[in-house]
Amino acid sequence: MSTPPFPSADLPASRPAVILQVLPALKTGGVERTAVDIAVATQQAGCRALVASAGGPMVHEMERSGAKHITLPLDTKNPWRLWRNAARLAEIIEREGVDIVHARSRAPAWSAYWAARRTGRPFLTTFAGIYNFKTRLKRAYNAIMQKGELVIANSQYTADHVHHTYHTPLNRIRTIPRGVDLALFDPARMRPDRLVALAQSLRIEDGLPVVMMPGRVTRWKGHRVLVEAIARMERRDFQCLFIGSDEGREEYRSEIEALIRERDLGGIIRFAGQVKDMSAAYMLADLVISASTDPEAFGRVVAEAQAMGRPVIATDHGGARETVLAGESGWLVAPGDAEALAAALTEALALPTAVRTAMGARGQEHIRANFSKDRMCADTLQVYNELLERFPVAQS
């Protein structure tokens, strides 16, 4: 990975820069994945990476790179605890000689903001989601994410949202799309035994096309829309798998299972649960679906699937407009429109395999050129560099 000077050679630095990332926890998720990737890249660039969170299963992976995890109860929204966390973070900033405080989520961002102000350190935020609000109070709560000296947006869609919703000046916004790990999501590295083992585990039937919808089992991901779309289709010679955990949302999952029975689609659609080897899962799919009814700030599934050479059908909003080449690597359909999704599915499944393969290749090329993890890390380190040059507080 090519990275910029870090810190800049023009700085009167006598030691490596220290970057503190702050987020609620290090459980599985896009924000957490990105935080770990950036911590590893920071260490590889010769600087010190600190991550403060309530902990989680990704701590071990991060610490293997030499990064340091600091456990704090940052997964709270309690105002009193937020203030206490701010005091603790200020102590850490001073003790560890932190140069930049980088917040990745709203509640801990408030604590990080107060701590950064108290210690005179530059405050950086990453807007990784489109935070809905119905009241002025909620809008004010969300606005912490645009209080950074610089604000990283994880897609152009997110950048536009930050600018128009919070009136953040464009010269403070840096658009750095989420990055796909191309070493992990690479069809050329896929071993046949992984595919065979997963196909058996998922009980995939030979000879039938596989339509796959990965993602958390939650309402806005659009499971109902896909069920209704398949119910409108004439053909029944394919199988559809919902990949992902319901994370305790048993009532919603039961609702979708009832709808599947009601539409007499039990022989086609089923929940397959959580899958750890997602690169193999994408390889087993003929089509990958993202039916989100709310705009996704980036849309990790759409990017990962295309990195694995799979054509996609996604809803025509949010980050998917940037990652999907409509008509070339996949289809974009109106959100919540079961009829449009049914038409796209019918068209996609009717295409010769060679045509779908060519679409997948175009998508893979697009993702590799524009949405790689290496590019995301290099661009983020450049933002760190920019802040170090503008605010060489601890360095000097």
Distance between CA atoms of 21 and 260, rounded to whole angstroms? Answer: 43
Q: Which of 371, 387, 373 is nearest to 47 (CA)?
A: 387
- Report pLDDT for 245: 87
> pLDDT band at 6, cuts 50/70/90?
low
Class of CATH domain 18-179+372-390: alpha beta
For the whole model, what pTM was predicted? Answer: 0.88
> pLDDT band at 136, cuts 50/70/90?
confident
Position 227 pLDDT exceeds 70: yes
Q: What is the pLDDT averaged over residues 80-96?
A: 97
Residues of the chain with CATH 3.40.50.2000: 18-179+372-390, 187-370
* Average pLDDT, rounded, for the chain: 93
Q: What is the pLDDT averaged over residues 288-292?
A: 97
Q: What is the pLDDT averaged over residues 113-120?
A: 97
> pLDDT band at 249, cuts 50/70/90?
confident
- Report pLDDT for 4: 45
- Report pLDDT for 3: 42
Q: At CA 228, angle to CA 304 and CA 301, rounded to 5?
A: 10
CATH architecture of 187-370: 3-Layer(aba) Sandwich (3.40)
Q: Which two tokens stand for residue 144?
A: 């912490």
Q: What is the pLDDT averaged over residues 358-380?
A: 97
- Report pLDDT for 1: 42
Distance between CA atoms of 243 and 259, rounded to whole angstroms? Answer: 17
> pLDDT band at 8, cuts 50/70/90?
very low
- Report pLDDT for 393: 63
| E strands in the chain | 18-22, 48-53, 68-71, 100-103, 123-127, 150-153, 173-175, 210-214, 239-243, 269-273, 287-290, 312-315, 330-333
Q: Which two tokens stand for residue 315?
A: 């809803």
Q: What is the pLDDT averaged over residues 291-308?
A: 95
Contact (Cβ atoms closer than 8 angstroms) between residue 114 and residue 83: yes
Q: What is the pLDDT averaged over residues 319-332?
A: 96
- Report pLDDT for 204: 95
Position 319 pLDDT exceeds 70: yes
Ramachandran quadrant class, 247 (left: phi over 0; alpha: psi -120 to 50; beta: rest): left
Q: Is 289 helix (H, G, I), strand (E, B) or coil?
A: strand
Percentage of the residues of the chain whose pLDDT score is greater than 70: 95
Position 2 pLDDT exceeds 50: no
> pLDDT band at 395, cuts 50/70/90?
low
> pLDDT band at 5, cuts 50/70/90?
very low
Position 130 pLDDT exceeds 90: no
Distance between CA atoms of 244 and 264, rounded to whole angstroms? Answer: 22
Distance between CA atoms of 87 and 270, rounded to whole angstroms? Answer: 49
